[in-house]
Amino acid sequence: MKAINVIGLGYIGLPTALMFAKSGQKVVGTDYNKELVDKLNRGELTFEEEGIEDLFQAARKNDIEFTTQYQKTDLYILSVPTPFVRSSKKIDPVYVINVVNNVLDVCEKDAILILESTVSPGTMDNFVRPEVEKRGLVIGEDIHLVHAPERIIPGNMVYELEYNSRTIGADSMEIAERVKELYASFCKAEIVLTDIRSAEMSKVVENTFRDINIAFANELAQICRNDNMDVYEIIRIANRHPRVNILNPGPGVGGHCISVDPWFLVGDYPELTSLIHAARDINDAMPEFVRKRMLTIMKENNITSLEKVGLYGLAYKENVDDVRESPTLQLLTILEENMNPGVKVFDPHIRRKMVDGQCMDFEEFMKDLEMIVIMVGHDHIKEHLDRIKPLIIFDTKNVTGFDHAELL
């Protein structure tokens, strides 16, 4: 086999490319973003992630390069965004279609195209196969299609690349075995072989399961708030039951997986997904719930201006710099729409200016602050609890442990 051409060097593609290179494979990473490519070629990483610096250095000692050009080779890993159309809730396949055509322009005969992006069930049949067939190519002879959905989470990517089980979906078991052998060069967990549509569905189902469980916790928080009950105490007690494991509520669901993938099922099966749709609506409504709760707390404490309020955390989860579908960004949009601008914002992991009112250091953020809303439970805030203790605290993540902190 020649070089593996990994297309898309974002949160999934880059760690995957580095892991293959570290394991001894020849890898070429391709991305349309020249600034990103140039940065990687200078030895600079493009996002924060536990363990990725060591992985990057190990990969660079082997055989890896970065370019904006697609390679003429026999194996491609495609890791591009798969957003959904908000009006229809269906997948927007434009990035997948574009990358497939770009690969077909240069690939060798008998090449294997591995799609790692999370897609709706039937994406390969409905969008990828037709692009191959338009060119008169025979699938299974001229081109082999594989779906190997990623299964890693920001904040623990490097570990999970090695130790999470993988799924390989292919038309033939012969191709599936070849791809399994490739991933086994670094994956130490079970690698399951199946057909493409089952692989597509299983990944979407995983994230939908998690979304529904989060929605139950969030709805429970709203019920308890309505009757002035402590949702965390109730969850703590309920979870003493050996078959109960309720999650903790939060200010919303972010990231590119849980907040997006369930919509694929809603869009494709609108008459069969009432539970999934309801869960999505509950989780999407949490930033508005936070806004109303925040304004109530302000009123109770005679805080008349949002300029005295700070939102802590822009990332969608703890200890990462990933802001995709961030609940804080959603909350800021809602504040603007409701004529409530002026709030201060800070995140120790976000080192680029993203929103109005964003402070670039913690001291600036804390200046003249009367109330803090903890949207993300970064380790950083846990290390500065003494600094925020005198403030009015709305702790949506239940990380402070202060008796005076307001909770969801």
Q: CA–CA separation, 342 vs 340, rounded Å?
A: 7
Would residue 187 show up in a list of annotated catalytic residues for this protein?
Answer: no
Coil, strand or helix at 372: strand
Q: Which residue out of 89, 257, 317, 397 is catalytically annotated?
A: 257
Q: CA–CA separation, 351 vs 118, rounded Å?
A: 28
Q: Parallel, antiparallel, or unpaired for β 166-170 and 143-147? A: antiparallel
Q: Residue 103: what are its φ and ψ, rounded to 5°?
A: -70, -45
Closest CA to 194 of 207, 178, 176, 179: 176
Q: Which residue out of 22, 203, 317, 397 is catalytically annotated?
A: 203
Identify the residue whose tokens are 């009757």. Answer: 227
Q: At what angle do helices 286-300 and 196-226 cross, to 10 degrees?
A: 20
Coil, strand or helix at 107: coil
CB-CB contact of 122 with 91 (8 Å): no
Specify the length of the chain in residues.
408
Would residue 257 show up in a list of annotated catalytic residues for this protein?
Answer: yes
Query: What are the structure tokens assigned to 131, written together?
Result: 């692009």
Query: What are the structure tokens assigned to 342, written together?
Result: 């002026």
Q: CA–CA separation, 375 vs 365, rounded Å?
A: 15
Q: CA–CA separation, 235 vs 237, rounded Å?
A: 5
Query: What are the structure tokens assigned to 157, written together?
Result: 């990517």
Active site residues: 203, 257
